[in-house]
Amino acid sequence: MIRRRARIKKSLLTWGLLDAFYVVWYSMRSWENDRIPYITDLSNTLALGTELGGPNMAMAAMSWLLQFSIILSAALFLCGYRWARYLGYAQIPFRLLLVYPSVSLILVAGGYWQDHQAMLVVLVLASEALKAWSLWRFA
């Protein structure tokens, strides 16, 4: 029983740290470009709303929903809430559609592997499969 709890805790902590890494990485990239993380990008999206059109605005809305759910899942995973795994499961289709890998280090690597997009797609698919399997198996 103690081993099982330790595995659950490690699994939740791992995914929480990866989501937190993404939030920090996104925020740092925003600061580097003289933007206020999340706030400037959201206001720009809303300002362009009429110009984007329906389908693009729907994609933007899904992207923002995913962004906020990543912040929430980072906090929930780090606090050790087991039911956070359901939020993690719900994120997977959106992460695949919008290319936000759960293993956030893939985004950093993507900046260096721009010529190997097929490899990046495989890594994104693998990261989501790993997340689903580990949440199902260990959380």
Average pLDDT estimate for 48-69: 88
User: CA 67, 68, 71, 75: dihedral to nearest 10 degrees?
Assistant: -150
* Confidence category of residue 1, pLDDT binned at 50, 70, 90: low
| Secondary structure element (H or E) that encloses residue 53, with its range | none
Average pLDDT estimate for 83-88: 95
Two structure tokens written together for 67: 């962004």
* Predicted local confidence at residue 110, as pLDDT: 72
Average pLDDT estimate for 104-112: 79
CA distance linking residue 30 with residue 10, whole number of Å: 30
Contact 67, 95 (CB under 8 A): no
As to burial, measured by CB atoms within 10 angstroms (0-12 exposed, 13-18 middle, 19+ buried), residue 98 is middle
Mean pLDDT of the chain: 90
Q: Among the residues of the chain, which ranges form H helices?
A: 2-32, 39-47, 49-52, 54-79, 84-98, 105-110, 117-138
Domain that holds residue 84: 2-138
Q: How many separate domains does the chain show?
A: 1
What separation in angstroms does the CA of 90 have from each of 20, 25, 65, 73, 97?
18, 22, 11, 11, 12
Average pLDDT estimate for 34-44: 91
Amino acid residing at 120 = L
* Confidence category of residue 120, pLDDT binned at 50, 70, 90: confident
Instruction: Write out pLDDT tens, residues 42-58.
Output: 898 888 877 878 888 88
Predicted TM-score of the model (pTM): 0.89
